[in-house]
Amino acid sequence: MHCSIEAPADREGLVLTASRDQTTRALNGFLTEIERRAYRMAQIALRHEEDALDAVQDAMIQLSRRYADRPQQEWRPLFYRILQNRIRDTQRRRTVRGRLMAWLPWNADDAGEAPDPLAQAPDPTPGPGARAEGDEIMLALQVALQKLPARQRECFMLRNLEGMDVAETAAAMGCSDGSVKTHYSRAVQSLREQLGEFWT
């Protein structure tokens, strides 16, 4: 007669493994649901497909390795906070690289001019999402978003594209609810002014 009673340690191990597998499945579902919007957000901010993919992948890795055991409702603000930090790091590196390039001897003609971060952006043309759509309005929206100050754009994308509420956006941006409302209101106003001709 076979007895299928497991030792307590084995049973505990099985429970732990099952719990971890459940977390991994939940994380996979979360990342699948979020990854395209996150990529668009990064791509519009960085204007570069490779950099955007790198930023999204880094955010995924950080979330998986460090914060997967946190409650699932915290994943979204955590993920976007990591992503925005990564985007800012990439932009800073570009600015530093631009300054260094300005000091190099073969750039002596331009040395007197302050480096323009926008000019350092590798690919100012709209990404494949916009190209595939072929929509003039989408292109105009993308250009208008790129002209916004970083925090306003970040706030607008989190609230509008990602559909976060004020509190969640504040958690993701690391600021107060009041700041979120201010950033969002200014972003909407600026976009309205820029896109007026396309929206009438």
On whether the CB atoms of residues 30 and 72 are closer than 8 A, the answer is: yes
Distance in Å, CB of 39 to another protein, minimum: 6
User: Which of 96, 97, 99, 89 shows the shortest CA–CA distance to 45?
Assistant: 89
Question: Given CA atoms 70, 73, 79, 84 in this order, what sign does their dihedral have?
Answer: negative
Between 61 and 111, name the residue whose CB sits nearer to another protein: 61
Residue indicated by tokens 């955590």 = 78
On whether the CB atoms of residues 154 and 84 are closer than 8 A, the answer is: yes
Q: Would you count residue 36 as binding another protein (CB under 8 A)?
A: yes
- The stretch among 63-71, 82-90, 117-125, 147-155 that binds another protein (CB under 8 A) is 63-71
State which amino acid sits at residue 77. Answer: P
Per CB under 8 A, the list member of 1, 5, 9, 114 interacting with another protein is 9
Q: Would you count residue 186 as binding another protein (CB under 8 A)?
A: no
Between 57 and 176, name the residue whose CB sits nearer to another protein: 57
- The stretch among 26-34, 87-95, 97-105, 106-114 that binds another protein (CB under 8 A) is 26-34
Distance in Å, CB of 62 to another protein, minimum: 8
- Beta carbons within 8 Å of 53's beta carbon, 6+ residues apart: 39, 42
Two tokens, residue 163: 């559909």
Distance in Å, CB of 181 to another protein, minimum: 6
Distance in Å, CB of 108 to another protein, minimum: 39
Two tokens, residue 18: 């099952």
Q: What is the C-alpha to C-alpha distance for residues 153 and 183, in angstroms, rounded to an integer?
A: 8
- Beta carbons within 8 Å of 142's beta carbon, 6+ residues apart: 44, 126, 127, 130
Per CB under 8 A, the list member of 19, 57, 72, 176 interacting with another protein is 57
- The stretch among 88-96, 97-105, 114-122, 153-161 that binds another protein (CB under 8 A) is 153-161
Distance in Å, CB of 128 to another protein, minimum: 5
Per CB under 8 A, the list member of 45, 46, 56, 172 interacting with another protein is 56
Q: Would you count residue 63 as binding another protein (CB under 8 A)?
A: yes
